[in-house]
Amino acid sequence: MASTIRVRATSNGDTTEVQALIQHPMDSGFVKDAQGQIIPPHFIQELTFEYDGKAVFVADWGGGISKDPYVKFAFKGGKKGDDLKVSWVDNKGATDTATAKIQ
């Protein structure tokens, strides 16, 4: 299966800007389907970005984050060509991981 994570990390020398887009339904558990049945909660709870073995950004998410979530942040350091590791875990225990090269 193709990765659910699309991540772009760009270094300008001092800082690295990271944008990530993840495919996930992010069902909050408050929405009903066409038959009036509650769609059970299914959302990413933790999203972690690691550079050089250290977490540079950790997101704790609830069901209030939009479907196919997007997040943007930046951190000091990060060299072109280095790896940035991204991983998430959802409330059902599913996970995915991706590694992006800093550009």
Partner 1 sequence: MSIMDNGFSATRRLVLKGAGTVALAGLGVISLDLPAAFAAANDKYPEEAFKQKSEADAIKLLYGRTAELSDKVKMDAPEIAENGAVVPVSVSTTLTDVTSIAFLVSENPNALIASYKIPAGTIPSVANRIKMAKTSNVIVIVEAGGKLYSATKEVKVTVGGCGG
Interacting residues toward partner 1 by CB under 8 A: 15, 28, 30-32, 45-46, 54-67, 69-77
For partner 1, the closer of residues 1 and 12 by Cβ is: 12
Phi, psi of 41 (to 5 degrees): -60, 135
In the complex, minimum distance from the CB of residue 87 to partner 1, in angstroms, rounded to a whole number:
14
- Closer residue to partner 1 in complex, CB, 89/98: 89
Tokens 């990765």: give the residue.
3
Nearest distance from C-beta of residue 52 to partner 1, angstroms = 10
Backbone phi, then psi, for 83, in 5-degree steps?
-90, 140
Distance CA(78)–CA(13), nearest Å, equals 8
